Structure formats: C-alpha cells, structure tokens
Amino acid sequence: MLTTAACTPDGEITSTSAPAIQAVVDSAPYLCELVPKQALILVSGGSDFLTERSTGNKESGSCWAPDETPKPLQVNWLQTGSGATEEHLNFLLEGRRNIYTRHGGVNLPANLGEGMAAYLTDGLLAEQPYRVSAKFTCGGKERMIDIYLTQVAKGRDAMKDLTDLMRIAQHRYADLHNCDLK
C-alpha cells in the first residue's frame, strides 16, 4: 500500500492509502510467445485472452490476441537475413521514431537497443494507441520488435509498462532464438 499525506483547509493532516501499482513481471504462459499473459491482463485491465493468431515465420511475422478488431495485443518481429536488410530495419525504426516523437514518445533505455514508446492519439494508428518499438542485436543479427496495445488500465504508467513489456519480449526472443542480447 502507498500512503499519501495532505493538509485539509483547516490545517489538519490526513492520510490515505492507495494500492501500490503491481509491477509487470515475466511469467508463463505467454501470448505470441513474447508477452506474459498475466502481464498483459494487468497492464491492459483486460480479461483472459484465450485465442491468438500468427502469420509469418520465426524470422518475420505478426501475432495478435485475441483475433478481433481492434486487436488488444499485436506483436510484430523482424530480423535481418529474413528478406530484410539492416537498412530496411533502420528505415522502419526511423518511421516509427518520427511518429512517436510527434506524439510525445519517450526513448527506451539504451540496454533495449534503439527504440521508443508512445501513446498515439489520431489517425489509423489510434486503434492501438499504446505502442513500443525497438531495434536490438541478438546473436550478431539486427532484430526488431513492435508491441501495440488498444488500452492501458487506468492508473498505470503506460510508458513504463510498455518498456517493461519490451524488456521481457526481448529476453523471451533471445531464449526462443538461442541468441545473446547485445
């Protein structure tokens, strides 16, 4: 519990307790192989996500859960050598960076590679307004992951949660692809 103190207009000190925000943690089972199901439920305030759908392959693809519109969770992944060059990944990241910056996005910590998190409020992207994208190195290859959410639960720090989800997704990606994060 978090306790806050305040003064009333007549000078009395009052305190109130509010539940502490529960941290995003890495735990099985996973959605789209990269996002902990319980973390998504916590962050989004959503219910149990029972179905997911994927397209593509291990090197390049998309997954969403559940299979509805708008998609509460969408995860995209791409790596060099799968028809994508490093220049292509840079181009994609630069496009995301331009959009995220226009919407007040925040840079991810350097240990997550190059990337940003943002809340987009207009256009087609607003169907999944909570977004985080990162380009990182794993096993000597450039990789990219995008995570898009339709909502974040009231009272949560969306940018921190998106950053935490990206951190978990990158570690899961490294485990699944048997590569070391750099």
pLDDT value at residue 107: 98
Give residue-wise pLDDT tens across range 141-167.
999 999 999 999 999 999 999 999 999
Give the pTM.
0.87
Say if residue 142 is exposed, middle or buried (CB neighbours under 10 Å; 0-12, 13-18, 19+).
Answer: buried
**Sign of the CA dihedral 126, 46, 72, 111?**
positive
The CATH number of domain 23-177, selected from 3.30.1380, 3.40.1000, 3.90.1690, 3.40.50: 3.40.1000
Q: Is 138 helix (H, G, I), strand (E, B) or coil?
A: strand
> In 80-177, at which residue ranges do the beta strands (DSSP E only) sit?
106-107, 114-119, 130-138, 141-149
Say if residue 162 is exposed, middle or buried (CB neighbours under 10 Å; 0-12, 13-18, 19+).
Answer: buried
Give residue-wise pLDDT tens across range 20-61.
579 999 999 999 999 999 999 999 988 776 688 999 998 899
The full length of the chain comes to 182
